[in-house]
Structure 1
Amino acid sequence: MLGTVLLLLALAEPAFPNPASAWRAEALKRLLEVFGMEDPPPPPAHFKQPPQYMVDLFNTVANADGVTKNPDILEGNTVRSFLDKTHGEKMRFLFVLSSVAKNEKILTAELHLFRLWPRVTDGPKRHHFCQVSVYQVLERSDQDAPGGKKLLAARLVSLQGSGWEVFAITEAVRDWTEDESSNQGLLVTVQGLGGSPLDPPPLQFASSQDHHESKKPMLVLFTDDGRRGASLPVAGFPADSPPQAALPAELPAPRQARLRSTRSLERLQPCQRHPLSVDFEEIGWSGWIISPRGYNAYHCKGSCPFPLGENMRPTNHATVQSIINALKLSEGVSSPCCVPDKLYSINLLYFDDDENVVLKQYDEMVAGSCGCR
């Protein structure tokens, strides 16, 4: 009978919240804020290979840990890739840009088309090139009417071999991001050198349905979200989160003594950089982050004793503060702190909410060196 009553009470009363679980949830929420997200994107429903262009771009911009090789390589801080949504139409392409945030500044937009091997035609070839034109569709129902389309790019393309062709379509993408309803897609035409129609056209591009995923038409968008160099406001964790200072007091006396000894030793060590591993699989983000699997953020630890040597990279202010502290010239003045004095950016390659592949650069994520401040 008592067991039944206890069971009913357990069912009636809400479970007492787990402080450790709440702490972890709040910590992960703050980490998402650092990466400019409210919620983590869901992993793709099925295995999906990222476009090789995006993988190659990541490897060009970053090392294996995601740390930026050269901050001037990337235009802006975000590169988005979108696959064609027309379901196999041969020379018309549509890209859904709903995942582009309103605050993102459009810098450059490129249409990437894979040129197939030319068709075998009877008789000698008269030309080695044809003219390829890319149009922004303005009136889908009547593209050939005056004002039905607008020319974005045109150039001569070789009829020999195969490979990627890239066309600048920035003007159209800016229109689409300002007014989503204006996105009627793109039209590509192939003509002779004098603008004459070619039937059948000797040049074709891979479509989204009929060819391998590595050759699918793609829109690549370079943007800047305005977060470059910006820092999040400092805010504390919830008041009901477990206080770390109380934990050592619960340890056995010998363990407390060892902790105090370790801390004393740390205070005696000079300011220097130490490893700090961030493992995305351990956090639970490996399903949507493609690269890197994790990175070394490093952290700064150690003392800044008087006198501060050049190896501690002190500022003039830190040098003066260390003198005031050593001579006890003013109450409440502590010794300088060991903090990062050089920070590097990292790059993430990941799937967004719409399963598009995004390369994004985040500033001030890795401690490059430490100094006394």
Structure 2
Amino acid sequence: MRNWNEIFQIEDLTRSVQTHRKAPRFMMELYDAVADSNGTLKSMKGLKGNIVRSFEGQSSGSYHFFNLTSFRPDERVIRAEFRWFRHQQPFMGRHHFYKVDLYEVMDSRPKPWRGNFISSRLLPIYTKGWEVFNITQMVTKWILNSGTNNGIVVVTALPAGDWFDSSIQMKGQSGQTNAYLVIYSDDGQKHYQHPPFYTGQNITTSLKLLEPIASSVESTMHNRRSVRALTSTCQRTNLYVDFTKIGWSGWIISPRGYNAYSCAGSCPFPLGEGLRATNHATVRSIMNALKLSQEAGRPCCVPDVLHPISLLYFDDEENVVLKQYDDMVAGSCGCH
């Protein structure tokens, strides 16, 4: 079984990280679209794989470089996007459109004529907003060979061919990041709901051979029923995990906490269907009641269905990550 360090891929979960960086709005909106305030997945729309990473990178004018060393080699890239925010341009006379060209930088000199052409787009001059470019093939190459990662250059030009600086920011917009690299990936871990161990067929009701034994044990346990009635049987109880109290609020963005639930209560003989007992637990219960073996202890009340939750957090490089973690919530409880 993997421990917390392996699950979260962070060496020191007790750290009190405080970052001054804000999560990109589109990552916050993506989280809100796929998960509720408890982290429970509510929609797969917008998700590709089980991990979404946003890299802010380093930008200088039209040049953008993204350090991808935090991307794990055991992950499979599904899609990579270059998200570039275009600002509304100042008055340019009779021009109403301009052209945007994307180039992959081939060496340390970010000049478009020394790069690989990626994509081109014609855009209105007097509007602003995010433009999303598919650069999956290029990013996959960067990850397989980090030496090819020299960044991206955004070149803007008027239809006549005259270049102009599209990175000029309007008043009040200085300091805002206008470019991100977003990678959708899959780490190969299961990201689905576990099937319940309970099959709906309890051995005491499905195997006629054991009916005499069950009847005998039930008679033996007759005098203990009054005691059993005072003890609550196996059931799911609340267990709220507050990330602030744990000390993880510095790096976990959302949710601020979640209900993991817990399983508590006894598993008395006979194990009725309401206790969602496995056949193994039923046989153990009989062996324990008849005192046929010292090793046959009573069945325990444990989770038999586990659900995932989604976390939005800062990784060690302060990149914002949206990831689905399995087996985080007890969906139901049973005797095992």
What TM-score, normalized to structure 1? 0.69
Deviates more, 1:337-346 or 1:214-223: 214-223
Counterpart amino acid of residue 89 in structure 2: P
User: Identity percentage over the alignment?
Assistant: 43
Q: Matches of 1:266 and 1:289 in 2, distance apart?
A: 43
Instruction: Answer 1 or 2: which has greater helix percent.
Output: 1
Q: Is the 8 A contact 1:266 1:301 kept in 2?
A: no
Q: Matches of 2:300 and 2:188 in 1, distance apart?
A: 30
- 2:24 is aligned to 51
Q: Matches of 1:282 and 1:219 in 2, distance apart?
A: 33
Using the TM superposition, give the Cα deviation of residue 307 of structure 1 relative to its aligned residue in structure 2, in angstroms.
3.2
- 1:166 is aligned to 132
Superposition map of 1:145-184 within 5 A: 145=113, 148-184=114-150
- 2:321 is aligned to 358
Q: Is the 8 A contact 1:228 1:362 kept in 2?
A: no
Q: Matches of 1:142 and 1:268 in 2, distance apart?
A: 72
1:136 aligns with 2:96: no
Q: Matches of 2:100 and 2:128 in 1, distance apart?
A: 14
Q: Is the 8 A contact 2:305 2:332 kept in 1?
A: yes
Pick aligned residue for 2:47 from 71, 74, 87: 74
Q: Is the 8 A contact 1:44 1:355 kept in 2?
A: no
Q: Matches of 1:154 and 1:299 in 2, distance apart?
A: 54
Instruction: Answer 1 or 2: which has greater strand percent.
Output: 2
Task: Summarize deviations over 1:102-157 as a string: whole Å, max 9, x none.
Answer: 2222221111111211321224x4x5x44422221113438455xx3223233333
Using the TM superposition, give the Cα deviation of residue 302 of structure 1 relative to its aligned residue in structure 2, in angstroms.
1.4
Q: Matches of 2:23 and 2:40 in 1, distance apart?
A: 20
CA distance change for structure 1 residues 328 and 295 in 2, over 3 Å: closer, same or farther? same
Q: Matches of 1:284 and 1:357 in 2, distance apart?
A: 18
Q: Is the 8 A contact 1:61 1:73 kept in 2?
A: yes
Q: Is the 8 A contact 2:157 2:163 kept in 1?
A: no
Q: Is the 8 A contact 2:266 2:300 kept in 1?
A: yes
Q: Matches of 2:16 and 2:106 in 1, distance apart?
A: 34
CA distance change for structure 1 residues 326 and 72 in 2, over 3 Å: closer, same or farther? farther
Q: Matches of 2:330 and 2:178 in 1, distance apart?
A: 39
Using the TM superposition, give the Cα deviation of residue 320 of structure 1 relative to its aligned residue in structure 2, in angstroms.
4.6
Q: Matches of 1:206 and 1:371 in 2, distance apart?
A: 62
| SS of the residue 1:107 aligns to | strand
1:220 aligns with 2:193: no
Q: Is the 8 A contact 1:78 1:361 kept in 2?
A: yes
Task: Summarize deviations over 1:323-358 as a string: whole Å, max 9, x none.
Answer: 554556666333432211211112222222222222
Q: Matches of 2:47 and 2:250 in 1, distance apart?
A: 25
CA distance change for structure 1 residues 199 and 101 in 2, over 3 Å: closer, same or farther? closer
Pick aligned residue for 1:198 from 162, 186, 195: 162
1:368 aligns with 2:334: no
Q: Is the 8 A contact 1:79 1:222 kept in 2?
A: yes
Q: Matches of 1:295 and 1:289 in 2, distance apart?
A: 12
Task: Summarize deviations over 1:306-334 as a string: whole Å, max 9, x none.
Answer: 33333323344444544554556666333
Q: Is the 8 A contact 2:158 2:164 kept in 1?
A: no
Superposition map of 1:153-302 within 5 A: 153-191=119-157, 196-200=160-164, 204-205=166-167, 211-212=173-174, 214-228=176-190, 268-302=231-265
| SS of the residue 2:274 aligns to | helix
Q: Matches of 1:200 and 1:218 in 2, distance apart?
A: 21
| SS of the residue 1:268 aligns to | coil
- 1:61 is aligned to 34
| SS of the residue 2:9 aligns to | coil
Q: Is the 8 A contact 2:16 2:248 kept in 1?
A: no
Pick aligned residue for 1:339 from 267, 290, 302: 302
Q: Is the 8 A contact 1:266 1:302 kept in 2?
A: no
Counterpart amino acid of residue 102 in structure 1: P
Q: Matches of 1:38 and 1:78 in 2, distance apart?
A: 19
Q: Matches of 1:316 and 1:99 in 2, distance apart?
A: 45
CA distance change for structure 1 residues 311 and 160 in 2, over 3 Å: closer, same or farther? farther
- 1:245 is aligned to none
Q: Matches of 2:93 and 2:287 in 1, distance apart?
A: 91
RMSD: 3.1
| SS of the residue 1:80 aligns to | strand
Q: Is the 8 A contact 2:240 2:261 kept in 1?
A: yes
What TM-score, normalized to structure 2? 0.76
Q: Is the 8 A contact 2:34 2:45 kept in 1?
A: no
Using the TM superposition, give the Cα deviation of residue 199 of structure 1 relative to its aligned residue in structure 2, in angstroms.
4.0
Q: Is the 8 A contact 2:267 2:301 kept in 1?
A: yes
Using the TM superposition, give the Cα deviation of residue 55 of structure 1 relative to its aligned residue in structure 2, in angstroms.
1.4
Task: Summarize deviations over 1:70-114 as a string: whole Å, max 9, x none.
Answer: 46753222222111313x32x221111122222222221111111
CA distance change for structure 1 residues 206 and 101 in 2, over 3 Å: closer, same or farther? farther
Q: Matches of 1:270 and 1:42 in 2, distance apart?
A: 40
